[in-house]
Structure 1
Amino acid sequence: ATLTKLDKAAFDGCSSLTEITLPKKLKTLGEAVFEGCTALEAINVAEGNASFASADGVLFNKAKTNLLAFPAGKTGAYAVPSGTEEIAASAFSRCVGLSAITLPETLTTIGDEVFYRCTGLTELTLPNSVTSIG
């Protein structure tokens, strides 16, 4: 069998999971797939996957224009790469160790509950390019 879809909250509460590699044939990712994965430090993508990409353990669509999921176990500051146009719903949800986020001037859309319960977040500046939040 080949895994092509991960449904909503597929890994919900897997608090010991530290790293995951999404398979080559995966095409569809449900909402909040990694919700409650508090130790997760890297979301990797198998080489040859046509739908997704990973940069520094952060999950993006293949074109790297949509940030889909940030691992909740990563700590410190993070700069969203230039070229990112959208941050998907709940992408940074419950990332309590995240202290600062730098957003690029290419960003236009921030989804629902993107920074939900980011209790350690002390610095965030919205660029003028953002036209939609939530």
Structure 2
Amino acid sequence: MMEEIIIPNTIVEIGNGAFLNAYDLQSLTIPASVVTIGNTAFRACYSLEFFSVNEDSSYFSSVDGVLYNEDQSILIRYPQAKTTTEFIIPLSVVIVREDAFANNFFLSSIIITENVTTLNDHAFYNCSSLTSMIIPDNVTSIGIYLFRESAIQDVTLGAGLSEISSYMFYSCNQLETIIIPDNIDSIGYAAFDGCSSLTSIIITRPSSSGLITGAVFMFINTNLQLKIYFPDQGTLDLYKLETYWSSYKEKFEVYSS
């Protein structure tokens, strides 16, 4: 059992899966020699509380135990066992990397600030206390499995997004309602697969602005009582003719405010 690891200064790369399932690891010190860290290097490190980076590093840094690249424009990893319940992403951050907050069981609030443009794959995977999130208008790119198996119940999709990515809400069992705003052009493969409590999808975009492109299995394994609401009858009728939407036509209704 190793609770603390100080990586030797002869190491230049921490590869994908390097510390996979290091359940007892609590703190990790990264030397200045490391130039590359894989996206999934720290997956399933459930006891990890703190990252420390040698101050001479030209590639990485840490603030309050959170791991960033050198200029803190990329948030690489938030420790899975860090017990703070709210985190405001620093204004320096532009990119939230793959797995960045995955498997953190304590965070109930993550505030995405005004310079973030990209949320990568699995960024909030299995965040079991994270119940709500506002994705602001400045975010323009999102990865697959973004909220996979998280506790998300309420999410606001900003005007900068054009898609709901594949598996974005995979097995989000507490999600009951979602509003899909006018700026969304497509819904990815199995985007809501396994959302067993999802009973209401509200589409605000009228057919005059174009139909949202669907995908295979986008609403598979959702609640049997699921209703998909449209702004008017004409829009509803057009979706009935669309390949990937027509299989859900018995769930269609016109939304009445």
Aligned to 1:30: 38
Kept after mapping to 2: 8 A contact 1:89/1:111 = yes
Structure with more of its chain in helix, by fraction: 2
Asked if the contact 2:27–2:49 (Cα under 8 Å) also holds between the matched residues in 1, the reply is yes
Higher relative contact order (CA 8 A, sep 6+): 1
Q: State the shift of 1:111 in Å.
A: 0.3
Match of 2:82 among 59, 74, 78: 74
User: Which among 81, 86, 89 is matched to residue 95 of structure 2?
Assistant: 86
1:102 aligns with 2:111: yes
CA distance in 2, matches of 1:45, 1:29: 12
Q: Contact 1:39 / 1:72 at 8 angstroms: preserved in 2?
A: yes
CA offset at residue 121 of structure 1? 0.6
State the match for 1:129 in structure 2.
138
Report if aligned partners of 2:61, 2:69 keep a CA contact under 8 Å in 1. yes
Q: Could you tell me which amino acid in structure 2 is paired with residue 128 of structure 1? A: D
Q: Normalization by structure 1: what TM-score? A: 0.96
Structure 1 counterpart of 2:25: 17
In the alignment, does 2:74 pair up with 1:61? no
Task: State the alpha-carbon separation in 1 of the partners of residues 123 and 108 from structure 2.
Answer: 15
Preserved contact between residue 97 and residue 120 of structure 1 (Cα < 8 Å): yes
Kindly state the Cα deviation for residue 123 of structure 1 after the two structures are TM-superposed. 2.8
The Cα shift of 1:99 comes to: 1.2
Larger Rg: 2
Shift of 1:32: 1.2
Query: 1:83 touches 1:104 (CA, 8 Å); kept in 2?
Result: no
Length, aligned pairs only: 134
2:124 to 106, 115, 122: 115
- 1:14 offset after TM fit, Å? 1.0
Structure 1: which amino acid aligns with 2:39? E
Unaligned runs of 5+ in 2: 1-8, 144-257
Counterpart position of 2:56: 48
Runs in 1 of length 4+ with deviation above 4 angstroms? none
Structure number with the higher strand fraction is 1
User: 2:39, 2:97 within 8 Å by CA — same for their partners in 1?
Assistant: no
Please tell me the root mean square deviation across aligned C-alpha atoms, in Å: 1.1
**Distance of 1:100 and 1:15 partners within structure 2:** 24
Give the unaligned 5+ runs of structure 1: none
Of all paired residues, the percent bearing the same amino acid is 34
- The structural deviation recorded for 1:23 is 0.8
